[in-house]
Amino acid sequence: MIDADWVKALYGEPPYSPEEEGFIEHLLHSHTTIEQVGPVAEEAGVKTLVLSHLAPGNNPTERWQAAAAGFSGDLIVGEDLMEIGVGKRKS
């Protein structure tokens, strides 16, 4: 997932060189943005949404939590070495 505001801040205001435009296009179209992920998860019927592969990695957790907009389930912002169980816990 990517923070589109971060991408825009990398390059400032247009005009962009063709190389910059291509990289911006790649970043925004190869990743789900904060604004997109909640509604996509909601439409898919997801109960718990775990965010991982976050760009930039040093964004504040609060910024990633904005992904809950449009999503009614639980949201977990992944962190390095975090372990999340899947399914029912064995006795």
pLDDT in tens, the chain (91 residues): 999 999 999 998 999 999 999 999 999 999 999 999 999 999 999 999 999 999 999 999 999 999 999 999 999 999 999 999 888 887 7
- Write down the pTM of the prediction: 0.84
**What pLDDT score was predicted for residue 88?**
85
Give the pLDDT confidence score for residue 87 in this predicted structure: 83
Q: Give the contacts of 24 (CB within 8 A, at least 6 positions apart).
A: 7, 10, 11, 16
Contact call for residues 67 and 37 (beta carbons, < 8 A): yes
**pLDDT the model gives residue 29:** 95
Phi/psi region, residue 24 (left: phi>0; alpha: psi -120 to 50; beta: rest), is alpha
